[in-house]
Structure 1
Amino acid sequence: MGDDGLKAVFLAQRPMLLRLLAARLGNRDDAEDALQDMWLRIDQLAEQPIAQPAAFLFRVAANLATDRRIAAGRRGSRDAGWMETQPGAEEVPDAERTLVARSEWQVVEETIAEMPERMATALRLFRIEERPQRAIAEQLGITVSGVEKLLQRAYRKIQERLDSGGAGSAGLNRLDHERGSDRAG
């Protein structure tokens, strides 16, 4: 079955795919976004025969829902970890906190500008556009593991730059101290 046949099956199965995704993702808006991603993926598929196109589409939908749930969990954990490293409202006055945040953001932007193009692209796609690592890997022509390594190196570069006297580092010094105790243990 060619690409056009797969699209026809997708359109015929769309209501069921939407129900599956809504059930797995928890809401209709995320399900609609996932269906849009599926449509784009179908558009990119090679002209290869697919014996059971409906089953194939439901498997793609299930995998996409799983990827999105994992990414959302990681994003939540990462954001919670970031918030834990920040000074509490009672520790730093608002004006000072705003200045520190602006200064840190400038350091982050400068660091991203100095990164190799592929690393900066992976970071922007993941953090700003919130694209799944698998989609980034496909776009960059590398493995998901390769994307993870690029992101780890990018985060490390940013953290090192901030730690080396970049923007206000009260919360960052605490994070660095905690990391040091992890390395020793």
Structure 2
Amino acid sequence: MKAVFLSERPMLLRLLTSRLRDPEAAEDVMQDLWLRLEGAASGPVADPAAYLFRMANNLAFDRRRSEARRNARDGAWLDTQSEASDFPTAEDLLISRERLIALENAVARLPHRTAAIFRAYRFDERSRKDIAADEGISISAVEKHLHRAYRAIHSAAQENGVDIARL
């Protein structure tokens, strides 16, 4: 059987290379085939060349199947890791807290009515019209209070080096 293997080696290697589309993987499978022949106690085979080609084909199929399983497993692992990376890091949390503190300090320094209008609009998500009706002022006055609040927040953010776009 070994003599047939050695004489058919170039053809076996071409078969494996075409099946696996990777010369290095084909060489690995050739090594596996040789080791199986070394370790196997086989009886007489009617057509040793056909037997070797069938073994090589089966080994190539097994290798492709195990690579597909490994790729699927690794892909699932990477997907899990990318989902885990969606959670904020400790650094992200610290930066967010600093931005929140800067925002809270800027709002705290606003006049009471401007701060109340800003909170109602931004945090309570109330419309300008509803705020104007509750405060007894015009919609234009609500907008002026909001502009004053935004200017104060923007100035505070610049003073503290906070990225205003992220607030």
TM-score by length of 2: 0.50
**TM superposition shift of 1:47:** 3.9
2:41 corresponds to which letter in structure 1? A
The whole-number CA distance in structure 2 between the counterparts of 1:84 and 1:90 is: 11
Q: Is 1:91 matched up with 2:87?
A: yes
Q: Is 1:11 matched up with 2:6?
A: yes
The whole-number CA distance in structure 1 between the counterparts of 2:25 and 2:50 is: 21
1:24 corresponds to which letter in structure 2? R
Q: How many residues align?
A: 90
**TM superposition shift of 1:60:** 0.3
- SS of 1:46's partner is coil
The whole-number CA distance in structure 2 between the counterparts of 1:50 and 1:77 is: 38
Report the counterpart of residue 33 of structure 1 in structure 2: 28
1:63 corresponds to which letter in structure 2? N
The whole-number CA distance in structure 1 between the counterparts of 2:35 and 2:65 is: 21
Deviations 1:110-160 (A, max 9, x none): xxxxxxxxxxxxxxxxxxxxxxxxxxxxxxxxxxxxxxxxxxxxxxxxxxx
The whole-number CA distance in structure 2 between the counterparts of 1:47 and 1:85 is: 46
Listed as ranges, the gaps of 5+ residues in structure 2 are: 92-167
Residue 62 to residue 90, structure 1, CA distance change in 2 (3 Å): same
1:71 corresponds to which letter in structure 2? S
The whole-number CA distance in structure 1 between the counterparts of 2:86 and 2:31 is: 44
Structure 2 counterpart of 1:74, from 52, 59, 69: 69
Deviations 1:54-92 (A, max 9, x none): 000000000001000000000000111111112454535
The percentage of counterpart residues that share the same residue type is 51
Larger RCO, structures 1/2 (Cα 8 Å, 6+ apart): 1
TM-score by length of 1: 0.46
Structure 1 counterpart of 2:54, from 56, 59, 65: 59
Q: Is 1:23 matched up with 2:18?
A: yes
- SS of 1:16's partner is helix
Q: Is 1:49 matched up with 2:51?
A: no
The whole-number CA distance in structure 2 between the counterparts of 1:94 and 1:74 is: 35
Runs of 4+ in 1 over 6 A off after TM superposition: none
The whole-number CA distance in structure 1 between the counterparts of 2:51 and 2:28 is: 19
Bigger mean CA deviation after superposition, 57-66 or 78-87 = 78-87
The whole-number CA distance in structure 1 between the counterparts of 2:23 and 2:88 is: 40
Residue 17 to residue 94, structure 1, CA distance change in 2 (3 Å): farther
- SS of 1:76's partner is helix
